[in-house]
Amino acid sequence: MKNETVEKAIALVAFLLLWAIGPLEVGIPHWYFLIVAAFWALLSDNRKS
């Protein structure tokens, strides 16, 4: 349980960094990150149950 919370916190920080820096550096559109985030959320939900 604790590890999962840490994992989510790290993922959130990494996601926010990518959101802020990624599009500037690489030119990746923001909607791409929304798709990845939604997909990751679905995967983590499937792991729980």
pLDDT tens-digit profile of 1-49?
577 888 888 888 888 777 776 666 666 666 777 788 888 888 887 776 5
Domain tally, the chain = 1
Burial status of residue 12 (CB atoms within 10 A of its CB: 0-12, 13-18, 19 or more): exposed
The model carries a pTM of 0.39
In this structure, are residues 36 and 11 in contact, taking their beta carbons and an 8 Å threshold?
no
Domain residues for 37?
A: 2-48
